[in-house]
Amino acid sequence: MDEFSKYRSPLVSRYASKEMSYNFSIFINLVTEMESHAEDIDFAMAAVEESKLRHDVMAHVHTFAHCCPTAAPIIHLGATSCYVGDNTDLILLRDGFDILLPKLARVIDRLSNFAEKYAGLPTLGFTHYQPAQLTTVGKRACLWLQDLAMDMRNLKRAREDLRFRGVKGTTGTQASFLQLFQGDHDKVEDLDRMVTEMAGFKKSLISSFLNMAYMVTGQTYSRKVDIDSLSHLASMGATIHKICTDIRLLANLKEIEEPFEKEQIGSSAMAYKRNPMRCERCCSLARHLIALLADPLQTASVQWLERTLDDSANRRISLPESFLTADIILSTLQNITEGLVVYPKVIERHIRHELPFMATENIIMAMVKAGGNRQDCHEKIRVLSQQAANVVKQEGGDNDLLARVQADPYFAPILGHLDNILDPKTFIGRAPQQVARFLSEEVRPLLEPYKAEIDVKIELEL
């Protein structure tokens, strides 16, 4: 196709002077020169330039111009600092989510296997951190999984909602690019689309109805985008803090522990200690992740009109630190969930200690079925329960309620059924069935997109 087969502005082809036409022209040799030096970054020179210019982007523009002297006059043409900074941040947010999502999927996978393995193992439930009705070890893990699954859906949605700032100019009007293209609006939109697609923001089946660049911006993209991204990371931090706190509480009861290496030392003074340091680390970092959410909330609130610089220094810290912190705690949690240790005998002992109290209603029901009076039975079992509780609390003894029931002639009609009445599996309701259905219908489908990455082992420096 020759030059006469394409549209040419008459301003250039007929009227403009050669000097002015050249001034607004970009030649292929200039682009080629910049492409050949794209990776030649002299950070030392950039640091010197920034110390003089007090502007990070312009420091790199001057440094790049040193590498590309021919192209120097057109570098950064029509752009603003936020064209560089904001678009880069959006790429980093997108890529950050792409790193975190497979890691979260692996945590969910490991915890799913744990839940399935222990779906039917009865354990004491706790409300107000006081013994309550029984649940199962696997069902409790499903409570953790439910929150993690919610986090995965939130992170995926936040990632899919991200768009590119694109080519918008100094206050978002694209005025400089409209001038470069001599009033051709279509070319400005084409440039915006091309740059957006080159950055990897392309339409998918999910987002095909959206422009992959924000249609309107000020000098910056809306800082509510940062709120949206970091709020879901902070929410995941709350999830992980709760999971690791639960494990720490159970470790105190010696029911469940995080992995503990053969030569690991729990305390420099107390040689017997087995401290849950990995869970403690997760909790410590999760608090930092949660606290970081305050930054984008306040930053968005003080983004005056088209833009102020209140955001710059803060975002350099809050954005990367949120993703780095989320990455660390997910890696640590994967290590924890790959090696959780369960002590069924300890769990069984705790159940035996509390179950007689919990079984009082079942004993009353059995006595009524055997012909007894509900009110009489209730009073009998109340008195015996108080006596047994006194032994436990005042004397430090074991719960002897069952022995007291067996010794009381009133309960003779049901003595042959006590073992069945006190079988822990009769107290867990539909917990095993709930686990199976939850894993099958909600958790496993969520992991399908990550099947190729699910078996990756974690390299963790502890």
Would you tell me how many other CB atoms lie within 10 Å of the CB of residue 302? 11
- 267 classed as catalytic: yes
Q: Of residues 13, 25, 36, 267, which has the active-site annotation?
A: 267
Phi, psi of 369 (to 5 degrees): -65, -30
Residues with Cβ < 8 Å from 205, sequence gap 6 or more? Answer: none
Q: Of residues 128, 204, 208, 268, which has the active-site annotation?
A: 128
HSE value, Cβ hemisphere, 13 Å, CA-based, for 241: 16
- 128 classed as catalytic: yes
Q: Which two tokens stand for residue 234?
A: 């902070």
Instruction: Point out the residues that are catalytic.
Output: 128, 267
